[in-house]
Chains A and B, each alone.
Chain A
């Protein structure tokens, strides 16, 4: 078909008109696009720029593995265990409820847990992983991993969690870790950002808290690109962190385990210290608690049981508890007297069983009295009247000064919580504390470690160590950090005349081995481990004249919390002292009957480096001790410890 010229003209005219219309429409659209560019890139550029910058590189922290804590032999006493947990991320899960229902076929999730979880998920941003279950078994963890395709948004993760393999044995000294609380953060000026990570474990109390800086390590980081909604796109780089320092402690896990078991259910504290280096070999408070419960989040029922227990399991009696030291204190006034020259080594006092001073009558523990008592016998038989007489002559200020030289009333710097200072009272102290003058009766009470005198078991152990070594030994807990030994300081001499010190030591030896000593039954019969000690029984109540007239009520007829504290300090071997031990049994009764056998067992275990041979015990006791041993529930490592000096046939 041919087109006529008219057709061509018509066509051209129509196309021109329509073409211009189309051009107009298209130009308008282009103008609209241009305007949109203007709005977005010029008018709202700032807003988008902000969003874009949020869309950039983020630093994600890699929590460091917490440093291990080892005993002096390298046994792990605070380690890390794999903690399998499972998290869910809303943005990836889609139908969260359905996914949780599927998950509950693999791990038990109760209806209340599920509701709590749904609430938690709703509260968090969609990209935040929320923990569904902690501490999964390997089987559960594997089951979730295998079923991952049908569980969108569910991530099984393997993290690390603190574990204390010895449970309660080291609980008080070690403390425990737990999640960082807002209160913890409020106490820090610039909290380490790693602390803000959910589930990050932080030393809450005890050594874990005091050495937090070393144990925590340094967080690594990953540089990741995240979009403005917080979703991770890819990893740009990684700076490996540094795991926490490995700290080797002075304690001996076997001895600690044995000590804790030996104290049993008593409300008691026991410390074994190396008299030369100050290394604390065992430092146990009883009853204990399982710190692993705190790491995992203790139930309120368990916590209530701990706080309401009348034996105060949560308290660390070794360094926090202070007790009237009773007769274990007697070496202090004796040395104060000897050093001042007021008391001569040959001096004797007559003990009729009581002494009247300042209008009050003070009794000796032995009603009938000890008769004429010399220096050595004053310790051996623990005559109170001897010290009443001595204190009146020597005066409290000399006694207090000597107490401080032996570490009582002085805070020993240990990386443990709330280390007590104790009290070595003198005139100035009483004036400052009570605004009263010192009375002669105060001196008499203080001379036998009663009245105002207060010492922690740690201080008693230090005192025994200083008597044994003649040096100002300071206790320590850390032996090496990352394999680098912490040097033992050269402890200064106490500056006490060796002859006087020997008198005190001989007195302590006589307590055990003198024949008439208060703790003769708790002696060690092996000559190379010959032991010196001192008993103490401290009253926690006043005995009225009327009661005394009727006859003092025996301890076992009193309610538990009104009974006497039983104390004992000792060291061995007598000739070349290595180890000192202090034991306090709260409301245990008599020091010689209750505290001394415990102290001897601990001392022997420490000396032997394992379960001591029975031939160290006096002949008649061996059968009973063997029976008692069987009742102890010791850790396998403790039983495996190789005792030294045991002759094997």
Chain B
């Protein structure tokens, strides 16, 4: 499909694009990010320069990028879907080969001043690729086996590359993010049921492989599974992070201990308090009110994205919006589920709150595409 399909006369130009922006979404993003700054200031012990300030700087750049991307016509994004996917894939291969190892995993690619996390890029690239694929694909063929196999491969190749880093969290997010996009495109529910069952079988096989010569996961990953099943069995070892996180979270109570008053996070009991476990600090200091408010902000972001997607008659734009929203959903759902003991600790940041440049920038740019879809929708 080319830009000729669009009714050029209805496409906003110049200053009018600003008016067509999904402003509630912009404000929600600002609200969530501001929460992030506040929490980074708190876990930094009142030291702005430690985490809050770098995060704000990246946020500023990210916002500029978001607006810039929003003003780029949506068909441009569709046209770069394949190159973006291929480049992300190449970078993933590169990071596996020469990347920096942190915390037992190769996730970073050092490109001079920029440290790039290709797995974060892939989260968006994959959605972009799948949206373009289903936009291109004849609606009647969506559920045919061959045309289902292609997106499965598109999902599994980067997932496989991420698993060997190893980064279980991103692998799960890629798989589910891709699945959500395909689901939205109308792939028959039966495929999902079958694949879900097959996935269950794989999980069983993985668990059964433990201790055998063909063991499929690293020991630390097995231990994380153990910890997930019962964190109290080893409160000082494998279950330490999650036990401490839950204590911090639960002790927040209704209204929390107050800003900067969280003893758990303050006293360094919490691991990775500024990254993956930052939600515990929020929940401890602002209690149920604070934690639930953040959840509400996230749900509202989802809601505005979904509304935008459903009211957009452009298939690519709708699928892209839903895919990005779903990825965003996976971020916060997996992170919160993880720190609240519902999911294994897999290393997924809290979107736009956790400290981390790549994650924030990629998300803001992804929302730039969502805005672009919103601004350039057929009217």
Contacts and interface: CB of A to CB of B under 8 A. Distances in A.
A8 B313 contact: yes
B310 A15 contact: yes
A16 interface: yes
B295 A30 contact: yes
Contacts of B322: 15, 19, 22
B288 A225 contact: no
Contacts of B186: 11, 14-15, 18
Interface residues of A, number: 51
Contacts of A228: 235, 243-244, 247, 269
B291 A37 contact: yes
A221 interface: no
A34 to B, nearest CB: 6
Interface string A315-341: 000000000000000000000000000
B247 A52 contact: yes
A157 interface: no
B183 to A, nearest CB: 6
Interface in B284-333: 284, 287-288, 291-292, 295, 298-299, 302-303, 306, 309-310, 313, 315, 318-319, 322, 326, 329, 333
A431 interface: no
B108 interface: no
Interface stretch (B23-31, B68-76, B117-125, B251-259): B251-259
Interface string A23-39: 10011011011101110
A41 B315 contact: no
B153 interface: no
10 contacts: A8-B313, A22-B180, A23-B306, A33-B342, A37-B249, A40-B249, A41-B250, A47-B250, A49-B251, A233-B268
Given A23-B306, A33-B342, A225-B268, 7 more contacts: A1-B1, A22-B306, A41-B254, A45-B252, A45-B254, A48-B250, A227-B244
Contacts, number: 166
Nearest to A46: B253
Interface of A: 1-3, 7-8, 10-12, 14-16, 18-23, 26-27, 29-30, 32-34, 36-38, 40-42, 44-45, 47-49, 51-53, 55-57, 91, 126-127, 225, 227-229, 231, 233-234
Contacts of B236: 91, 126-127, 229, 231
Contacts of B248: 52
B268 A229 contact: no
A460 to B, nearest CB: 65
B185 interface: yes
Interface string B209-249: 00000000000000000000000000111001001101111
Contact of B253 (A11, A32, A42, A91): A42
A41 B291 contact: yes
Nearest to A227: B269
B340 interface: yes
Given A37-B292, A55-B267, A26 B333 contact: yes
A40 B235 contact: no
A38 B291 CA distance: 10
Q: What are the 3 closest A-B residue pairs judged by CB atoms, nearest first?
A: A48-B250, A52-B251, A45-B253
A1 B141 CA distance: 14
Contacts of A49: 250-251, 253
Contact of A10 (B139, B250, B251, B288): B139
B45 to A, nearest CB: 13
